[in-house]
Each structure stands twice: as structure tokens, then as C-alpha cells.
């Protein structure tokens, strides 16, 4: 994880003011990739004490809009956030416990899958979610 100074620089690079909640959210998501909003609120409160839900929602929205975080929403899961942005990686989701891991883009660039019929669209993204059982769940079943 980048040192705290780098989180400040990241905020400055996208012209966001450096605030304690923004630093805490950035650091929480770097340490816990694919975390949902409630867990992020918990992590931020551990660090800063009282912070309202709304404040954390606002920070998540600002950081996502600025491109510092990516919001993912696998089917059947709540929204989650990660700090790995700027590449076209996919996710593998455990069908049993919901654990999520990163999977590099199969071809290395978006949209990864060529649509069999583009209907005249200029397609720049394919949302790929792999599903199965994680190592823990597959030994238990
Ligand atoms: Zn699992
Ligand atoms: Zn990811």
C-alpha cells in the first residue's frame, strides 16, 4: 500500500482537496480491495471516530468520479470499491461465500470479448464476471 503522503498526492493530482475522510477512505480501499460500503464506513470510523454514512458515500462518489476508485457491482452483490483502476481486469466471485478476486483481462485490453453482433455500436467494454467456488468453499463441499 502506498504511504499516506502518496494518498495526499493522489488527491492533489485529481484536484481534490485533501481531507481526513478522503484519506481514510482511500487507505481503507487500498488495504481491503473489493470492500462494500458498510465495511468501508466501519474502517473509516475505526480510524477517525464519528463519520456520517452520508460523508462516506459522498467521498466514495467523489473518488470514483475522479478515477481514484472503481465501483464494481457483481450481479447479486452490493456495490464494492477497489483501488485498482485504469486496467480492464475482471473478477471471479465465489458462488458460496461471495469472496471476490481479481482476474487479469483475458486479452489485455477492453472490451476483452468481441461481440458476435455489434448492432452498429462502437463497443468499448464487456463486463465479465467469472463464478465458481473459492478454495475454502470447494474443499468444504
Ligand atoms: Zn467461497
Ligand atoms: Zn478488482
Distance 84 CA to ligand 2 centre (A): 6
pLDDT at 19: 96
Distance of alpha carbon 73 from alpha carbon 55, whole angstroms: 21
Distance of alpha carbon 74 from alpha carbon 113, whole angstroms: 18
Distance 141 CA to ligand 1 centre (A): 10
Dihedral angle over CA of 103, 75, 37, 93, nearest 10? -30
Helix (H, G, I), strand (E, B) or coil at 65: helix
CATH homologous superfamily of 87-140: Ferric-uptake regulator, C-terminal dimerisarion domain (3.30.1490.190)
pTM, rounded to two decimals: 0.87
Higher pLDDT pick, 92 / 74: 92
Annotated domain spans of the chain: 4-72, 87-140
* Each residue's pLDDT tens digit, 34-71: 999 999 999 999 999 999 999 999 999 999 999 999 99
- The domain 4-72 having CATH identifier 3.40.630.10: the answer here is no
Amino acid at each position: 500500500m502506498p504511504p499516506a503522503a502518496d494518498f495526499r498526492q493522489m488527491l492533489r493530482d485529481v484536484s481534490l482537496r485533501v481531507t481526513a475522510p478522503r484519506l481514510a477512505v482511500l487507505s481503507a480501499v487500498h488495504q481491503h480491495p473489493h470492500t462494500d460500503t458498510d465495511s468501508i464506513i466501519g474502517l473509516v470510523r475505526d480510524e477517525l471516530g464519528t463519520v456520517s454514512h452520508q460523508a462516506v458515500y459522498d467521498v466514495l462518489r467523489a473518488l470514483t468520479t475522479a478515477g481514484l476508485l472503481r465501483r464494481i457491482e457483481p450481479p447479486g452483490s452490493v456495490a464494492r470499491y477497489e483501488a485498482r483502476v485504469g486496467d480492464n481486469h475482471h473478477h471471479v466471485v465465489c458462488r458460496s461465500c461471495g469472496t471476490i478476486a481479481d482476474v487479469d483481462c483475458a486479452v489485455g485490453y477492453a472490451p476483452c470479448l468481441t461481440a458476435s453482433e455489434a448492432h452498429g455500436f462502437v463497443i468499448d467494454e464487456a463486463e465479465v464476471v467469472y463464478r465458481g467456488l473459492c478454495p475454502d468453499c470447494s474443499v468444504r463441499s
